[in-house]
Amino acid sequence: MREVPQSTRSRHRHVRAPWISSPPRAAGILPHPGWGYGLLRSGFVAVAGRPNVGKSTLVNALAGGKVAIVSDKPQTTRRRVMGIANGPDYQLVLADLPGFQRPRDPLTERMQRTVDQSLEEIDAVLLVFSARERIGAGDRYIAERVFGLGVPVVIALNKVDRLKPGHIAEQMQNAARLGEFHSLHPVSALTGDGVDELRGDLVELLPEGPAYYPAGQRSDVTPELHVAELIREKALQLTREEVPHAISVEVEELGEKVVRATIFVETDSQKQIVVGKGGSIVKKIGTRARPEIEQLLDHPVFLELNVKARPRWRRDEAMLERLGL
C-alpha cells in the first residue's frame, strides 16, 4: 500500500484517466497502444528547486542518459523537458523544470509559468536542494508551494559528494524542517550515489497505469530542440556573466549531412564575445557540440553555426514563441 492519503489517491484516480487532458499528459503522446492497464506503475513527477541545485543533472541520472543540458550557470533550463526512466514494470516520467525564480522579463515570466503549470496534475514532486548551499528563504518559498499541492513530496539533498558526514546530517535536518515529506534522500547526481534508491522510491509512489511513451524513449524533446540545446550548453560553458543569459539557439536545418543553427545574443558586444578572436569561440562551441550531435543523430554531420545579435529578444514575445519558449 502506498503511503498516500485517501484524498490524494482518489484525486489521482481521477486525473489518471487518459482521456482527461492535463498539462504533462497533454504534452506526452497518448497512452501507447498495446499496453494494457495494470501491467506497470507509471506517472509524472515534477522536479522542483532553486536554479543550479542540480535538477537537470539528477533527471539525467534518474533517466539513465542525457536528456537535459547542464551548466554551472543558473537558469540553464528554460523549458520543461520530460526525462523518462523505463523499467520492466514501471515508467517514471520526470518533468525537469526551470528553477523557481522571480520573473524579470517576458522570458523569465514564461519560464516561471512553465514551472507553475507543470505542478498541476502530477503524482509526486521531487524537491531538490543543494547540500553545498545554505537552505534558506528561496528554498522555503518553494517548499511552501510544493507542500501545498497535496501530492507526496520526495526530497533529494543533492551534491553530497565530497562533503563531511556531519555537514550532510545538518543539511538533512534543515531540509527536513521544511514540510511533511514522504522521504528524504541524500544523493549525488554527479557520482550517482543514492540515485537508484531515489528512483526506486519514486516508482513506488506511482499508481498502476499505461505507458505514456513508447518503452525505450528517454525524452520528449524533438531532435531539433535537442540539437539546439546541446549547442546552447556548449555556448554556456564558454561564456560568463550576462552573456549566457542572452544566448538562445535555433536550428534551421537538420539534414542528412548538414546541421545549420544560429546562436542569438542581444548585443553586438555579446556577439563579438561568442564569435571570439578570429572565430575561436564559436569554433570551440562547434567542436564540443558536434560529437554529441552526431551521437544523437547517429551519423556524421557538418555543423554550421552563425552568431546573430537580435536586440532584446528576451522581451520579444513573437521571438520567444518561435524559439518554443
Ligand X SMILES: Nc1nc2c(ncn2[C@@H]2O[C@H](COP(=O)(O)OP(=O)(O)OP(=O)(O)O)[C@@H](O)[C@H]2O)c(=O)[nH]1
Q: Can you give the binding site for ligand X, defined by CB under 6 A?
A: 49, 51-57, 70-72, 74-77, 98-99, 158-159, 161, 188-190
In whole angstroms, how close is the CB of 41 to ligand X at the nearest point?
25
161 binding partner (options Mg ion, ligand X, none; Cβ < 5 to 8 Å by kind):
ligand X
Closest separation in Å from C-beta 155 to ligand X: 14
Q: Considering the complex, what minimum distance in angstroms separates the CB of residue 24 from ligand X?
A: 18
**Count of CB atoms situated within 10 Å of the CB of 129:** 25
Q: Of ligand X, Mg ion, none, which one sits near residue 107, judging by CB under 5 to 8 A according to partner kind? A: none
* 295 burial via Cβ count (<10 Å: 0-12, 13-18, 19+): exposed
Measured CA to CA, the distance from residue 264 to residue 243 in angstroms comes to 11
**Which among ligand X, Mg ion, none contacts residue 54 (Cβ within 5 to 8 A by kind)?**
ligand X
State the binding partner of 71 from Mg ion, ligand X, none, CB within 5 to 8 A by kind: ligand X
317, interface contact from Mg ion, ligand X, none, CB < 5-8 Å by kind:
none
Question: Letter for the amino acid at 151?
Answer: V
Q: Name which of 50 and 290 has its Cβ closer to ligand X.
A: 50
Judged by CB, which is closer to Mg ion: 15, or 231? 231
Considering CB distances under 5 to 8 angstroms, the limit depending on partner class, which of Mg ion, ligand X, none binds residue 219? none
CB of 244 to Mg ion, least distance (A): 13
76/86 with CB nearer Mg ion: 76
Applying CB under 5 A, does 52 fall inside the site for Mg ion? no
51 binds, among Mg ion, ligand X, none (CB under 5 to 8 A by kind): ligand X
Shortest spacing between CB 98 and ligand X, in angstroms: 6
Other residues' Cβ atoms within 10 Å of the Cβ of residue 14: 10
Distance (Å, whole) CA 194 – CA 152: 19
Does residue 219 interact with Mg ion by CB under 5 A? no
Shortest distance in whole angstroms from residue 249 CB to Mg ion: 16
Binding Mg ion by CB under 5 A: which of 56, 114, 118, 188? 56
The answer to whether 249 and 262 are in contact (CB under 8 A) is yes
- Specify burial of residue 50 (Cβ count, 10 A radius: 0-12, 13-18, 19+): buried
Side chain identity at 159, as an amino acid letter?
K
DSSP string, 45-98: EEEEESTTSSHHHHHHHHHTS--S---SSSS---S-EEEEEEETTEEEEEEE-P
Q: How far is the CB of 273 from ligand X (least distance, A)?
A: 20
Nearest distance, CB of residue 310 and ligand X, angstroms: 22
Q: Is 77 a residue that touches Mg ion (CB under 5 A)?
A: yes
For ligand X, the closer of residues 100 and 313 by Cβ is 100
Nearest alpha-carbon partner for 212 in 24, 63, 67: 24
Residue 308 β-bridge partners: 264
Q: Which residues contact 152 (CB under 8 A, 6 or more apart)?
A: 3, 4, 8, 123, 124, 125, 182, 205
Of all helices (H) and strands (E), which one includes residue 320?
helix 317-322
Please identify, among the stretches 14-22, 72-80, 197-205, 287-295, the one whose residues bind Mg ion according to the rule CB under 5 A: 72-80
The grid cell for 38 is 495494470
- Residues at the site binding Mg ion, with contacts judged by CB under 5 A: 55-56, 76-77
